[in-house]
Homo-oligomer: A and B are copies of this chain.
Amino acid sequence: MDILTLVQNRHSYRGLYKADPVPREDLTAILTAGLAAPSGCNQQTTRLLAIDEPQLLAKLREVLKKPSLCSAPALICVLTNPREAYPGHCFARQDYAAAIENMLLAIVALGYQSCWYEGYLTNEDQISRQMAQLLKVPPPYELVCVLPVGEAAASPAAPPAKLPFDQRAWFNRLPSQGLVK
A interface, CB within 8 angstroms of B: 1-4, 6-8, 10, 12, 24, 27-29, 31-38, 40-42, 44, 46-53, 56, 79, 81, 83, 85-86, 89, 91, 93-98, 100-102, 104-106, 109, 116, 118-119, 122-123, 135-138, 140-141, 160, 162-163, 165, 168-172, 174, 178-179, 181
Contact = CB atoms under 8 A, between A and B. Distances in A.
Contact of A47 (B8, B24, B168): B168
A3 B106 contact: yes
Given A1-B2, A7-B37, 12 more contacts: A10-B36, A31-B169, A35-B165, A37-B101, A44-B168, A46-B168, A48-B169, A50-B169, A81-B179, A83-B181, A93-B93, A140-B181
Please report whether the interface of chain A is mostly helix, strand, loop or mixed according to DSSP: mixed
Going nearest first, the 8 A-B pairs with the smallest beta carbon separation are A97-B97, A94-B97, A7-B36, A98-B101, A48-B169, A31-B169, A101-B101, A3-B109
